[in-house]
Structure 1
């Protein structure tokens, strides 16, 4: 009986860890929307630190979801956070031409893998 319970517990714990925050920041000339999907950051640290950016002069709204919404023009998968072992996936929404700056940053400093989901069929839903 215990052998059958272990896979159920693992499935339940992986679903409990699914968390993401959508950060929308705005100023006079800037409108940026990013979703951070937690991979290995302790939940409390993720919510209290990573999802609470301090951006002077900008209006910042943060909302939480189980996963990041579709419609990103680029995703940095398995990005490392500031040379710490913590990992997250970063979803970028808005101006697709920003990928020319974000992709090298993702693959270089973030040590992640860049994906362009909007180039594949079926990702037309935008984040509002």
Structure 2
């Protein structure tokens, strides 16, 4: 997975981390927090989502200047064919059971060819699909 670490950090930049990595891993990869900076606004134990931005030393929910992202975990777009069940659970209205159903559908059908195939997963009706379609990709 790829994440962007910025803010009050020794080596801001884009980093490749293993799937399942946590915010603390991204901070460590970027050389750690700059002297005097606080990580109080970050949940260092939270699992990372591919493509998100971690802002160190900012206010809770703060994004880098010019960035439209205010909560990276809430606005990241997940790839249905590579997201872990933990990542799928971060989607609105998706819990452990539905995440497992999405993963099972993916495994038994050789992956998702289109986002619309989510409608074929048990537990995803029209309303749930409308909530999810802008948050996922194939």
Q: Same fold (TM over 0.5)?
A: no
Structure-2-length-normalised TM-score: 0.20
Q: Which has the higher contact order (CA 8 A, sep 6+)?
A: 1
Structure-1-length-normalised TM-score: 0.21
